Amino acid sequence: PVGLAEQMIPGFLAMRALGMRCFKRDITPWVIKALFAAGIYNMGKHIWQWATPLMEKHLFTSVSVTNHDALHGKVSNWVSAIVSTKSVKHFSAKTGNASAKAEIIDTNVEVSYFGGEKAKIMTADEEDGGVVRFLPVKGGCQYFWHRGRLFRYKNEVTRRNTQNIQLHEETLTISCFSRNPKHLRQFLAECWQFNGPAASKTTKVHFLEKCVRRCELSYDWTKIVLRPARSLATVDLNEKTKQSVVAEVADYLSAESPQYYAKRGIPHRRGYLLWGPPGTGKTSFCMGLASNFKLDLYVIQILGTPMDDKTLLDVFELLPKRCIVLLEDIDSAGIRRQQMRDKNVDPRAKPTLTLSGALNAIDGASSPEGRLLIMTSNAPENLDEALIRPGRIDRQVYFGHVDREVASSIFMRMFIKSAEDLRKSQDGPLVLIDNDGEDVKLRRAASLFAGSIPEDKITPAELQNFLLQHKDMKDALANVEAWATAICEAKE
């Protein structure tokens, strides 16, 4: 054994003699055991490296999802909420992101502006640090048990430069220790249905972001922002018009609707044009619809995104079957008919979005059905008739200046005690307590306030801004008439 140890560890005899002189003990048995253990470890390591590909091929079922697919976010949310709180020992943590902020917003919390004490100011650190979201470390591998089966979660990040833009792609791989793929399908189905603890309070809003697809620089729906769910009761629109549109959308999204359309040979599509001056609540109404029907909202800002016919068609093909698609400020996008015979067109000019390209993306032969399309416009007279004809745009809804009914609704919403009271406001007059402790009927105060607002002169955004500056009800009632007069004179 001494000779073997000397061959494997040069200088072992000198170390053995030093040990005998200092400790009066022979270290040879310990060294032999350590060498034996190291040999077993190395042999096991090589066997594992040789056996792992065979095990993954014959004993595991796997699926890979990139961050360009909506399923990637669903699986990540499930892992963050379920696995990370149980078995994961090494995390990557995020604070202060959009999703964390949305989770801590509670519209049912009663907020009063009528107390004598000053409200506590929340600092940026307090707001951003309220929620921490955990995920397994990227690039690592994590095993966990689910429904009696062993699963493996692996998230890899690939970075590359394309056209001087640094892009990254995440590939998430889920493996199950089973030769039957049904367990993996069941797990993915569960992740898809999982919404998380804050899903009922938030709405997903998707925006376009640059990415690499098919080895080309393009756009994808990779930017997701969680917004607090917005009740339709907070949207300032004539109540009859609002209820009518909501009823139409509910009928279109019903389970019987696709079959009804198919039997009559009608494409299962529905579109709305929301038009009116800026600040009248067009985008807010879209958020309210998405929250009410629990659909994701996909926003295409054509004016702020370099867009041509191919790009618009590509991003429409990436949309899910059931969602709300919002084309914002469609009149300012410069969509026009393509002049095929115009000799003055510069062949070197960058391709732009044409009317034919927009129509092909919206309701072309390859366009899927089942989505709700909404366009917003400040000047609908500038739109081509082909873009808003019946069949593409089934109804046009005007969002104008406030009338007395809408002004009263805005006043009640701003001074209501809680979101629960707002939902019950149709049942009867509500009572609000002012600074002096006197009972004031909110409906009577709202009627007095609305009486001071001129018809069709002020936008909902302007009225809401005034009430934000006058959070005391008596102060708002005392100053509204002078403010409304000044606003109207400034517009003339």
Residue 218 vs residue 109, higher pLDDT: 218
pTM of the full structure = 0.68
Q: Kindly report which listed range (33-37, 277-281, 422-426) carries the lowest average pLDDT score.
A: 422-426
Tens digit of each residue's pLDDT (9 = 90 or more) over 374-392: 999 988 888 888 888 888 8
Mean pLDDT value across residues 126-150: 68
Distance (Å, rounded) from C-alpha 134 to C-alpha 93?
A: 5
What are the residue ranges spanned by the domains of the chain?
2-54, 61-96+131-197, 222-338+350-398, 404-491
**What's the topology of domain 222-338+350-398?**
Rossmann fold (3.40.50)
Tens digit of each residue's pLDDT (9 = 90 or more) over 431-469: 444 434 334 568 888 889 999 999 888 999 999 999 999
